[in-house]
Amino acid sequence: MTVTVNFVFDTRKIKKDNTYPVKLSIYHDGKKKLYNSGQSFSRKEWEKINSEKLRDEQLKKNKQKLNDSKAKAEKIIESLQDFSFNLFEKEFLEISVYDDILNVYSLFDKKIRQLREEDRIGSALAYETAKTSFQRYKSTLFFTEITEDFLRNYQKASERNGLSSTSQGIYLRHLRAIYNLAINKKLIESKDYPFKNFTIPRSKNIKKTLSESDIKKLFNCNPTTHGVEKALAFWRFSYLVNGINIADIANLKYKNIQNGTITFYRSKTIRTNNSNKKVIKASLLREVVEIINRYGNKPEEHEFYIFPIINDEMNSETKKQRIKNFNRNISKRLSALAHQLNIDGSITNLTARHSFASTLKRKGVSMEFTSDALGHSNLQTTENYLASFEDSTVHEYAKLLVDFK
């Protein structure tokens, strides 16, 4: 009997980001089952995907992923002599006992699907990047092959290929998370844990703050092009609004402005438990209002995003890509400005965040206040942000050692 494969735009329940999930529909012998594709879209995006003239590059990629998923399903169905949903699911969902026990990339894929279903697109992309790195080193990888020697050899090969220690550390921590997941699922035992005596490389804690004189340059300069002017405006906005990052700037709505303050949660803590989720309050300074008036959306409706970076018609993946592109564009222009102003080092959103914290330190503000303003859950994190004293201060205090007057 014929088995049909189609996609269903499931509008029965809208997600938090105002999108609907797309599900793979398998119909056989009067029975239909739906399988999550890991993707969701707004109604307009779904219309575009199904149109003949699709121009949006991100939606093209999403459509290709859907087509790949459908092709995989059809290939599995064709390979089955007698179709049954159980046999199909074992192949399509990759849930065979053999794969779960041995195949590292199979568990990577399950983790990625879970993160996408939870709309944690950034985390899903991070796991995908880590998986790709290990696949380049070894196309097929079983848990039994992950030993301390394997980890060291991967690290050496990565160094030869020019992969930074920071990236190595990120990928190895993701691999460790997958290995721990396999242990928790009782797929493997912990007695030969390969990470026990292996040190995952960490990036050097390079200070990312600007000196007071460099910050003054950024507030006194007058850019000659609109692009640099806009990039600098968003750097200033970040610096003045408690070092807010670009993702949180993009998600700000006019309802976040109340009684002369901007109030928000950091997007990276939204899914954490209540003890780690802090409300951040920043003063609505005159300079901040001027930036909103110049670059903000109009009219200033309660539910409108303040800045035209993302909108509610986009799905989570598209929003993530737009924010990434916006941040990259700003960083590119600020890099040129740093050279023009003879500022040593880069000017980035992260620089604004660290400089906000370090400026408060220089002005004698308590670490407790700074920690709360940054939304940190502990003071140690704040200490890592704070710059060392500037050279001039070090020299000044050193003179005191021989000042016997």
pLDDT, tens only, 77-99: 988 888 888 888 877 876 444 44
233-284 confidence digits (pLDDT tens):
999 999 999 889 999 999 999 999 988 889 888 887 666 555 556 788 888 8
pLDDT at position 287, please?
A: 93
Average pLDDT over residues 133-146: 90
pLDDT band at 399 (very low <50, low <70, confident <90, very high): low
Same fold, 95-204 and 212-394: no
Q: Does pLDDT of 100 surpass 50?
A: no
Q: How far apart are CA 92 and CA 99, in angstroms?
A: 12
Cα separation of 235 and 213, whole Å? 16
Domain definitions of the chain by residue range: 1-93, 95-204, 212-394
| pLDDT the model gives residue 99 | 47
Distance separating alpha carbons of residues 51 and 42, to the nearest angstrom: 14
Greater confidence, 394 or 198? 198
pLDDT at 45 over 70: yes
What's the confidence (pLDDT) of residue 159?
92
Please return the burial class of 37, using the count of CB atoms within 10 Å of its CB with bins 0-12, 13-18 and 19+: buried
Q: Which residue has the higher pLDDT, 163 or 205?
A: 163
pLDDT higher than threshold 50 for residue 347: yes
Quote the pLDDT of residue 236: 94
What tens digit of pLDDT does each residue of 348-392 get?
A: 888 888 888 888 888 887 777 777 677 766 666 666 655 544 555
Lookup: tokens for 318: 């598209």
Asked if residue 155 has pLDDT above 80, the reply is yes
| pLDDT for residue 398 is more than 60 | no
pLDDT at 393: 53
Cβ within 8 Å of residue 187, ≥6 positions away: 100, 101, 107, 143
20 has pLDDT over 80? yes
pLDDT recorded at residue 23: 92
Residues 29-56 have a mean pLDDT of 89
Q: What percentage of the chain carries pLDDT values higher than 90?
A: 41
Other Cβ atoms closer than 10 A to 105: 19
* Domain 212-394: homologous superfamily in CATH: Intergrase catalytic core (1.10.443.10)
Q: Does domain 95-204 have CATH number 3.40.50?
A: no
- pTM of the predicted structure, to 2 decimals: 0.60
Looking at every residue in the chain, the average pLDDT score rounds to 84
Each residue's pLDDT tens digit, 197-235: 999 987 655 557 888 889 999 999 999 899 999 999 999
Cβ–Cβ under 8 Å, residues 279 and 248: no
**Is pLDDT above 60 for 403?**
no
